[in-house]
Structure 1
Amino acid sequence: MRQVLDVLGVASPALWWSLLYFFCLLTGYYVLRPVRDAMGASGDVAAVFPPALVDWAQRAGIDLGAFTLQLLFTATFVCMVLLQPVYGALVSRYPRRVFLPAVYLFFIACLGFFHWAFDRALPGRGAAFFVWVAVFNLFAVSVFWSYMADVFDNENAKKVYGYIGAGGTLGALLGPSITRLLAERIGVGNLLLVSAGFLGVCLLCILMLRPWAIARERAHHERSGEEAMGGSVLAGLRLVWQDPLLRAMALLMFFGVGVGTLLYNEQAAIARKLLDDATRTAYYARLDLAVNLLTILIQVFLTRWLLRRFGIAPLLLVPASAILLGFALLAASPLPMLIWVVQVMTRACEFSLAKPARETIYTRVDREARYKAKAVIDTMVYRGSDLSFVWLHKALAAFGSSVVFLAGVGVALCMTASAWAVVRAQRGLPETAPAGEPQPVAGRG
């Protein structure tokens, strides 16, 4: 505990602004998440889907309610693909001081639109909001960590990323509490304005952190983020395809999200069959509480020590191995309580260990990989995995839970192999990001 207080006591204002930034970002997101989940679980297809789609499904004799999540995940992936060139153009043609605020101002404007849509009970608002929140979450968090890699170098990232993550976890705890407290008092539409207020604080943090980003780039003689990045708007896709490290990170993301998607969907199916509504609600409430408490304990007391002493290897390989063991146990005995334990372990390890480990890697690559390739991995690859495995689960579920978890063992093996590939590939990186013009990340070819 004394070590934690010592670090925080002498921390620069950059750490405190970063903590506030991530805290407000995740608070704002978790205010929205229960609204999104309610839309995804809604039985009112007219509120979720556009009228034209509802009419077409009725004429075709298709029950949209039976495919709600699959359709929403598919729409989310399509939006991610369409937005990648837009984001690539933004970061290529404008300096950091322009495109970072522009991203958040766009999200704030969208919340204003959805406030109007919910206030007027606009048909189809549910699908639009569900997809938008998924896009917002991935893009906003990806941009946040890209910016942190501008503000902190590799050595400082090892010291502070665990604490910054803990700030986000506190926001993840506060957000649902705000929604639970205010949803019935002020209405769903006004909750969106509360979230917009937190994003406004994020904008302030972006501006306040700018001097540290500039100072870090000057100290390491790096290419300045105050200049437009240039390059192709689709460079992120090319980099992920060509570079061994980025390709391994994309595979790690794909299989890591895959195991989570299989586990989440099968957990929901088992809970729906075996537990009544009240018990199921308490089950999920205890799950979220346990995940957040375990996450913040690891972030504060373990993440920094592991990163500084051993590097990223244990932070990637230990969670992957634990998930592999968990799925093997579930294949033999798919009990709700065991699923609960594996879910807590999986999510807490991702937030407290694997995520900080991956993010420190981006402090050691050039800005094009940091902003463009990272966005591809964090958005397109993430949602592509979601889409693939939500449909895979639909097919496997017909054969029972043991088959789902047995398939999960295979996915977890691929995840572990990908984690090892990342550990090996990152060894060729310099300790600081390449200076000057974009250079190879780790043997691009």
Structure 2
Amino acid sequence: MATPIDEPAGTGRPARLRAALAESPPLLWSFLYFFCLLSGYYVLRPVREAMVASSDVTAVFPPALVEFFARRGVALGEFVPQFIFTSVFVAMLALQPAYGWLVSRFPRRVFLPVIYGFFIATLLVFHALFDSGVAGRGLAFVLWLTVFNLFAVAVFWSFMADVYSNAEARRYYGYIGAAGTVGAFLGPVLTGLLVQRLGIANMMLVSCALLAVCMLCILRLRPYAVQREQADGRRSGEVPMGGEVWAGLKLVAREPLLRWLALMVVLGIGVGTLLYNEQILIARSAFADAEQRTAFFSRIDLAVNTLTLVVQLLVTRALLSRFGIAPALLVPAGAVVLGFSVLAASPLPVLVAIVQVVTRASEFSLAKPARETIYTRVGREWRYKAGAAIDTVIYRGGDLVFVWMHKALSTLGSNLVFGAGIVIASAMTFSAWRLLREEAKLPSERPLPADAAGAAERA
């Protein structure tokens, strides 16, 4: 169990935050980085949700694809989430070796700006596509935004594990997460206020500006990562790490800690996907056009981010610094079991929305920061390759399985959907417990010894 970090008696939260900023210069840049990253994503997330929930199939899929399935007797509009999640998984599988090659062959100072520069350039392309109303733009945008969310956020946390030690992560990750939540709070507010005045296309430009600030933060944080690596005697991230392009997936298959971590993530995706698809069905029947659906999803995101911020500011730091990651993993898992039990008994739309908000907020404010502290105690391949593999290919593989499971179960009624959710949530709780057993075997600080199951780095 983690030991408490001593603090002056009677120190209030604002004073503790000021003290943290004074003792850790990179913290302010980390705040700004995560704030702009999540704000840029959440400006666009309601657009994605509106596309997935769209009743206009030609806005989502290219006409040739619609005609292809129509000739075979398949109404593509009835399988929008299933087709999209299948396409996302294929895209992730195709991109995983490209990402592995990039992080293996190039130093951190190259591959981090390249990743964000690519996303900015493609956003400008989507601005043109939405501005001209190109048919099928919805599918391309949903695929792009999903890839952006997973890769950009995974890379952020891997980079933070280069900058901060384990003790610092337990002290600061709650604050960093809160800065991101404020950005996530701002994103849907901007979209809700501006999308009906400016149109969807111009929201792409807003996101571009925010991602440009992220690139500035990377440049300012890099010297602190180098300093941390020198202090720990680890191999520098300013040189290519080498290794195989598929090393991430191989590490997950080989290492028990990573396997349980991946299983917990997949099962968490399962409960989230069941809720997400119920929410899509509600939005499709309740709102007639994309702008109204976009505004609806922005309100859901606003509620999620409000609750997340409250927990991060009042709870996350205390749990991680005083008790370690166990409560931050087990409490959200128990809340999900309880929420699905309520929905199985009474699957009312308003309850679906409430459980969705609680489930996502507990993931963002507690479970995600807790899992990310583990990566401060392992080597770079585990952080940049295995961590990215879990957050991309394995994550979307879980999406693929559960989106089709929902399609089958939904034909039998919402009660059965949420009954299955109880089983999945219970299995997630068990996997969290097994992950904690494996995590306890790690040393209290990074890095691992050179012979520790592939997690170490050679000097």
Tell me the residue number matched to 2:391.
378
* Deviation string, structure 1 residues 309-353 (Cα, Å, up to 9, x no partner): 110001001111121122122222223333333222211110110
Contact in 1 for aligned 2:38/2:180 (Cα 8 Å): yes
Letter in 2 for 1:358: R
Tell me the residue number matched to 1:156.
168
- 1:101-116 equivalences under 5 Å are 101-116=113-128
Distance 1:272 1:38, change over 3 A: closer
Is 1:205 equivalent to 2:234 in the alignment?
no
Tell me the residue number matched to 1:226.
238
- 1:93-104 equivalences under 5 Å are 93-104=105-116
Tell me the residue number matched to 2:62.
50
- Secondary structure of the residue aligned to 1:60 is coil
Tell me the residue number matched to 2:260.
248
* Deviation string, structure 1 residues 234-289 (Cα, Å, up to 9, x no partner): 0001000000000000000000010111122234446767x677999998666433
Q: Which moved more, 1:169-178 or 1:356-365?
A: 169-178
Whole-angstrom distance in 1 between the partners of 2:435 and 2:454: 12
Tell me the residue number matched to 2:415.
402
Is 1:180 equivalent to 2:196 in the alignment?
no
Whole-angstrom distance in 2 between the partners of 1:390 and 1:80: 16
Tell me the residue number matched to 1:422.
435
Tell me the residue number matched to 1:290.
303
Tell me the residue number matched to 1:357.
370
Unpaired segments of 5 or more residues in structure 1?
none
Letter in 1 for 2:18: G
Q: Which moved more, 1:52-61 or 1:127-136?
A: 52-61
Distance 1:435 1:317, change over 3 A: closer
Whole-angstrom distance in 1 between the partners of 2:140 and 2:179: 29
Is 1:6 equivalent to 2:15 in the alignment?
yes
* Deviation string, structure 1 residues 137-171 (Cα, Å, up to 9, x no partner): 10000000000000111000111111111111111
Letter in 2 for 1:8: L
Is 1:335 equivalent to 2:348 in the alignment?
yes
Letter in 1 for 2:170: K
Given candidates 261, 276, 285, the residue that maps to 2:273 is 261
Whole-angstrom distance in 2 between the partners of 1:339 and 1:416: 21
TM-score (norm 2): 0.91
How far off its partner does 1:27 sit?
Answer: 0.8
How far off its partner does 1:436 sit?
Answer: 8.1
Tell me the residue number matched to 1:92.
104
Contact in 2 for aligned 1:319/1:353 (Cα 8 Å): yes
Contact in 1 for aligned 2:54/2:284 (Cα 8 Å): no
Contact in 2 for aligned 1:366/1:439 (Cα 8 Å): no
How far off its partner does 1:214 sit?
Answer: 0.7
Contact in 1 for aligned 2:272/2:359 (Cα 8 Å): yes
- 1:118-133 equivalences under 5 Å are 118-133=130-145
Whole-angstrom distance in 2 between the partners of 1:248 and 1:441: 17
Whole-angstrom distance in 2 between the partners of 1:282 and 1:111: 21
Give the length in aligned residue pairs: 442
Letter in 1 for 2:102: L
Whole-angstrom distance in 2 between the partners of 1:277 and 1:105: 36
Tell me the residue number matched to 2:73.
61
Q: Percent identity?
A: 60
Letter in 1 for 2:12: Q
Q: Which moved more, 1:331-340 or 1:195-204?
A: 331-340
How far off its partner does 1:442 sit?
Answer: 7.7
Letter in 2 for 1:5: P
Whole-angstrom distance in 2 between the partners of 1:283 and 1:120: 24
Whole-angstrom distance in 1 between the partners of 2:144 and 2:335: 33
How far off its partner does 1:435 sit?
Answer: 6.1
Contact in 2 for aligned 1:222/1:435 (Cα 8 Å): no
Q: Which moved more, 1:299-308 or 1:318-327?
A: 318-327
Given candidates 79, 82, 89, the residue that maps to 2:94 is 82
Whole-angstrom distance in 1 between the partners of 2:329 and 2:204: 35
Distance 1:92 1:420, change over 3 A: same
Q: Which moved more, 1:353-362 or 1:256-265?
A: 256-265
How far off its partner does 1:197 sit?
Answer: 0.7
Whole-angstrom distance in 1 between the partners of 2:455 and 2:68: 50
* Deviation string, structure 1 residues 196-245 (Cα, Å, up to 9, x no partner): 11000000000000111011111111121111000000000100000000
Given candidates 28, 43, 53, the residue that maps to 1:16 is 28
